[in-house]
Amino acid sequence: MSAEKHSTSDRINADTAAQTLLKLIRELALELHPGRPVTGLTLDSSIDRDLGFDSLGRVEMLVRIEKRFKCTLVESAFIEADTPRDLLQLILTATPEKTIETLSPLPGQEIGTTATEPHEATTLNEMLHWHVEVHADRPHVILYGDQEEPETLTYGDLLEGAEKMAAGLQQAGVAPTERVAIMLPTSRDYLFSFFGILLAGAVPVPIYPPARLSQVEDHLLRHGRILDNAQTVLMITVSEAKPLARLLQSQAASLGEIVTPAEMLQAGQRQPAAPRVSDQDIAFLQYTSGSTGTPKGVTLTHANLLANIRAMGQATGASSKDVFVSWLPLYHDMGLIGAWLGSLYFSAPLVLMSPLRFLVRPGRWLQAIHRHRGTLSASPNFGFELCLNKVDDAELEGLDLSSWRMAFNGAEPVSARTIRRFTEKFSRFGFRPEAMSPVYGLAECSVGLGFPPLERGPVIDRVQRHALTHSGEAIPTTGQEEYVEIVACGQALPGHQVRIVDSRGNPLPERREGELQFRGPSTTQGYFHNPEQTRQLFQDDWLNSGDLAYLSGNEIFITSRTKDLIIRGGRNIYPYDVEEELGNIAGVRKGCVAMFGSEDRASATERIVILAESRESRPGELERIREEVFNLATQLLGMPPDEVVLAPPHTVLKTSSGKIRRSACRELYEKGEASGGRRAIWRQFTRLTLSGLPAMLRRLWSRSAEALYAGYVWALLFTLAPPVWLLTALLPRIDWRWRLIRSAANLYRTLLGIPLEVDGLEHLPLDRPCVLAVNHASYIDGMVIVAALPRRFRFVAKAELLGQFVPRIFLQRIGSQFVERFDRQASAEDAKRLSGMAEAETPLLFFPEGTFQRVPGLMPFRLGAFVAAAQSDLPVVPVCLQGSRDILPANCWFPRHGRLKVSVKPAITPLDSDWQAAVKLRDESRQAILESCGEPDLQRG
C-alpha cells in the first residue's frame, strides 16, 4: 500500500512539473517571438523546429528552469535535449542547486604553494618535462566538467596522457612538423591532444567547433580554408562531430584521417619516439580571428611563446602562489596561451571550465574565483557584461572576490561603461577597482602586448569626438563639447616596443592617431604559407597590428581596426562606438550590431550600412526599431546612414572570440543574404557537398590510382620473387647470386617506375675491407641498397630470421651474418665474431638503428657496428637512404609511388680500438647521415 501511494505521489509530482515546464516554455516562446502564437505545445514538441529556440534562447530557458525548480541541470545534456520531455527527465533527476555557502574550498588542495619556474626551458616540451621531473604530483588543472565537483590533473597526469596521444599519432603515421587539427571542447582530451601533438614533433592547429547549425556553411567554409592552408594531415575531434568533420575533407585535400581522442589514446600504448624540437620550431599555428577578413595562420615558435609568457609574468607579477580561473576557450590564444600555458609555466594551478558552463550560468565564473581563491582571471568585455546582466544578487549571496588581484579585460574593445558598472556592482563583494586591468594583444605577438602597471586600475581618456574623427587628434575634452571615452590598454610588455605611424609609415607624436606597430621577442615570423600577407605585415623590423591607436604617456589607446574604419566626407567613422550605443535600443540584440562600409559603384563612394539583429517579427515593431536605429545613428555619426537592415538572430557573423566580423557581414550584405532569414540547414549542407564534389572526385580518383598501383607492386613482386629466390638457392657461385639479385632489384624498380639517384660512390672502397652503416626506414631498404651499391657486402641480420625458412635460405646464400639481439651472452659472442669477420675483404653492412618505425626520423644508433670497426681498425662508410619510408613505411602493406636516393658519405677512420673510439665513430657516422636524410632527430637530448 505504501509503495502504491509513493508511486502515485511521484506521478503527481511529475505531472505538476510537466505542466509548470510547459507553461514556462510557452511564456519564453512568446517573449522570443512576439506576435507568433504558440499552438500545439506538448512534451514531444521540438525545441528547435517547433519553437525556434536558438542557443541563447536555450540558455535563457535553462536559467528560468533552474530558478523555478531550484535545481542544477547538466549543461551538455540540456543543450542536446530535443523536446520538453527530455527536459522534464533532466529536471526529475537533477541535483539541488548549490549556493556560495555550500561551495566550500576543496580539501587537501596543494595550491597556492611556492614552486620554482623552468627558467632554462627553451621549448614547451622541455617545460612540461621539467615540471614532471620537479613536481609530477603537483595539481596543474582543476577541471570542471558536467559535474559540480571538479577533477584534478597533475603535471604527471598531463605528461602520461600526452605521451599516449603522441604514440597514437605516430602510429597513425603523423610525422614531425606535420600539422594536426584539434576540434575539441574544453576537456582532458584537449589538454592531452595539444601536448601529444607537440611530443610527436607535429604542429597543433586549434579550431573551434560550430556554435550552431544555422551558420554551419560559413563555419565549414572558413575552417576548410584554414585546414587547406595549414595542410593538416589529421583531425582530432569528438565522435559526434565526425560526420561534420568529414565534410571538411572536401575543402582540404591534405586532410586524411579524422579520429577521436579515445582512438588515439587506445592506439598509443607504447612509449612514443621523441623527435628533437628546437626553440625556433613552430609550436603551433594560431589562426587569426578573421574579424577583418580571411583567417591567416600566425606561425608561433617555442621561443615566441616562452618569451611572451615570461614577459606577461613579469608585467603581472605572476608566480606559483597565483591561482588562475578561466572559462576562455582553449582554441583561442587568450585561453590557450594566457590562461593555460601561462599557468603551466609559473606552476600556478588553473581552474578551468568550458565556455558553455560560463555562458549558461555566468555566476559560476565568479563562484569559482570565490571557491578557489582565484587571483588571476580574464575575459573579453562581453563576459563582464554577462555577469552584470545575467547574475542575480541572490546568486551572489556570500560571494567574496577579494582574492582577485588582476581581472584582465581584452580580446575585444573595452567599454568604459562596462568597467564602471562592473566595479560598482561587485565592489560590495570584495572586488577592488585596482584589479580591473584592460589589456591589449594580438596573435601576431603570441597573445599579449600591452599590460597596465600593477595596482594602477583602469585609465579612461575622454577626447573630443570632432577632433578625433576629423583630424585624428586625441584632444582631451574640456567638458563643453561632445566626447568619446577610450580605455587605456596598458604599456608595452618588457622587451617589446610600440609606436604609432601614419599611412606612409612615419612615426607620429603622442595623441595623434595612426596605425599601431610593434616589435619584440614574442612576434611572429609571418603567416603560414601566405607570403603576400606576410609581406604586408612587416615594415622593416616593425609589424603592423592592423589597429588604429594613439599613445599618451606610453599608454596604448585603441580606437578601431584599420579595415573596419569607414571614411566618409573626410571623416573617420569608428564602428564600435556606434554599434555599442545601437545595441541599447529596445528590440535590438545587444552585441549583435555591425556597421560597415559598402562601395556604391554608381557614385564610387562608400555607403554606410548598419546590420542589426532583432527577435521581433511584427511589422509595426520592426519599423519602430528601424526608425530608432536610423535616428540614433544619425545623431552619433552627424550624418544619416545609407541603409539600416534588420535581421533575425545569428545573422551578424562573429569570430570565435565574439568579435564582429564586419568584412564577412559586408560580403553577406552584398550577396543579398543579410535580411533573408536563416538559411535552411539542408540547403547549406547541399551547397557544401556540391562545392566539395570536385575535390571529392579528385580524392577518389587519386585513391583509386594508388590502390591500382599498390596491386601492381604486389603482383609484380609475386611474379619475380619466386624465381629469384629459387635461382639464388641453386646457383653455385656467390658472385653469380649477387649479379642475379642486383639485376632483379633494378628490374623491379624500373618496372615500378621508381627513380633511384645514387651519389658519392667515389667514397665507397672497392678493394679493401670496411664497415657500411645505413639508416633503416622501410622493409625495402635491403633491396634498395643492393640495387644502388656496385660492391658485394654481407648483411648483418637479426638472429630471429634463422627460424624462418624463406628469408633464412636467401640471406645465407648471399653471405649474410646473423646476430642475437636479446641474449646478452650470445650477443657478446656475436660481436667478437663480427670483429674478426670485419677484416675480411667483403664489407659488413649494418642497420645500426636495429629496427625502423612508421614515424619519420633517425633513431639512436647501436654500438655493435662501430665496436667491430674500431677493434678491426676499419673505416666506417655512412650511407644515407632517402625515400623508402614514403614508399612502404612500417606496419603498412600499401606501397606508394616515390623517389629513392642513396648517398655514400666519406669514410670515417677510427682513432683507436677502445670503447671511446667506437662511440666517436658512432656519433660521427650518425651525424653524417642525419645531415642528409631530411628527417628529424629522434634521439632525445
pLDDT of residue 752: 94
Task: Please determine, for residue 883, whether its predicted confidence score (pLDDT) is greater than 90.
Answer: yes
pLDDT of 503 reads: 86
Q: Average the pLDDT over 619-634 and give the result.
A: 85
Proportion of the chain above pLDDT 70, given as a percent: 84
How much is the pLDDT for 686? 64
| pLDDT band at residue 433 under the 50/70/90 scheme | very high
pLDDT tens digits, residue range 129-170?
A: 999 999 999 999 999 986 768 899 999 999 999 999 999 999
- Secondary structure (3-state) at 506: coil
pLDDT at 538: 94
Q: What is the pLDDT of residue 821?
A: 57
With bands split at pLDDT 50, 70 and 90, how would you rate the model's confidence at 304? very high
Q: Where is average pLDDT lowest: 226-240, 248-262, 691-705?
A: 691-705
Residue 854: predicted pLDDT: 76
Mind listing the pLDDT tens digit for each residue in 764-804?
Answer: 988 888 899 999 999 999 999 999 999 889 898 888 888 88
Alpha helices in 280-415 (DSSP H): 302-316, 333, 342-345, 355-360, 363-372, 381-390
The most confident of 255-264, 337-346, 681-690, 790-799, by mean pLDDT: 337-346
Distance CA 502, CA 199 (A): 44
What pLDDT is stored for residue 1 in this prediction? 42
**CA 781 – CA 177 distance, rounded (Å):** 24
pLDDT at 707 over 70: yes
> What is the average pLDDT score of the chain?
84
> Which residues make Cβ contacts (< 8 Å) with residue 813, sequence separation at least 6?
728, 729, 731, 734, 737
Top pLDDT among 825 and 325 is at 325
pLDDT for res 939: 72
What integer pLDDT is reported at residue 292 of this predicted model?
A: 42
Q: What is the pLDDT of residue 940?
A: 54
Residue-wise DSSP of 553-567: TTEEEEEEETTT-EE
Q: Which residues, in sequence order, are CB contacts of 896 under 8 Å at separation 6+?
A: 706, 709, 710, 886, 887, 888
Find the mean pLDDT for residues 625-637. Answer: 83
Cα separation of 591 and 382, whole Å? 8
Strands (E), 442-537: 450-451, 460-464, 483-487, 491-492, 497-501, 514-519
The grid coordinates of residue 654 equal 562573429
Return the pLDDT at 828.
47
Per-residue pLDDT of 177-214, as tens digits, reads 999 999 898 999 999 999 999 999 999 999 876 554 44
> What residues does 544 pair with on adjacent strands?
517
Please say whether the beta carbons of 654 and 661 come within 8 A. Answer: yes
- Choose the most confident range, by mean pLDDT, from 471-480, 700-709, 733-742: 733-742
Q: Which helix (H) or strand (E) holds 229?
A: helix 216-230
CA distance linking residue 864 with residue 938, whole number of Å: 20
Q: How far apart are CA 404 and CA 375, in angstroms?
A: 4
pLDDT in tens, 451-487: 999 999 999 999 998 888 888 899 999 878 888 899 9
CB 935 within 8 A of CB 854: no
Could you read off the pLDDT of 546-564 as tens digits, one per residue? 889 999 989 999 988 776 6
Residue 906: band (very low, low, confident or very high) from pLDDT cuts 50, 70, 90: very high
Q: Which residue has the higher pLDDT, 171 or 681?
A: 171
More confident residue, 605 or 484: 484
pLDDT over 50 at 827, yes or no: no
pLDDT in tens, 247-256: 777 777 788 8
pLDDT the model gives residue 745: 95
pLDDT at 824: 45
Query: What is the pLDDT, as a whole number, of residue 570?
Result: 52
pLDDT of residue 832: 61
The mean pLDDT value for 333-349 works out to 95
Q: What angle do CA 475, 477, 479 make, to 5 degrees?
A: 170
Residue 706 has pLDDT above 60, yes or no: yes
Examine the pLDDT at 320 and tell me if it is beyond 90. Answer: yes
Q: What is the pLDDT of residue 108?
A: 37
What whole-number distance in Å separates Cα of residue 95 and Cα of residue 759? 73
Most confident of 104-118, 132-146, 231-245: 132-146
Q: What is the mean pLDDT of residues 901-911?
A: 94
Sign of CA dihedral 329, 332, 336, 338: negative
Give the pLDDT confidence score for residue 657 in this predicted structure.
55
Cell of 502: 601614419
- The average pLDDT across 338-344 equals 96
Query: Is the model's pLDDT at 678 over the cut of 80?
Result: no
Is the pLDDT at 336 greater than 90? The verdict is yes
- Pairing outcome for strands 282-287 and 232-237: unpaired
**Is residue 112 predicted with pLDDT exceeding 60?**
no
Mean local confidence (pLDDT), 740-745: 95
What is the structure's pLDDT at 684?
55
pLDDT of residue 71: 80
3-state DSSP assignment of residue 520: coil
Tell me the Ramachandran region of residue 505: left when phi exceeds 0, alpha when psi lies from -120 to 50, beta otherwise. Answer: left
Does the pLDDT value for residue 41 go beyond 80? Answer: yes
Higher-pLDDT residue of 221 and 340 is 340
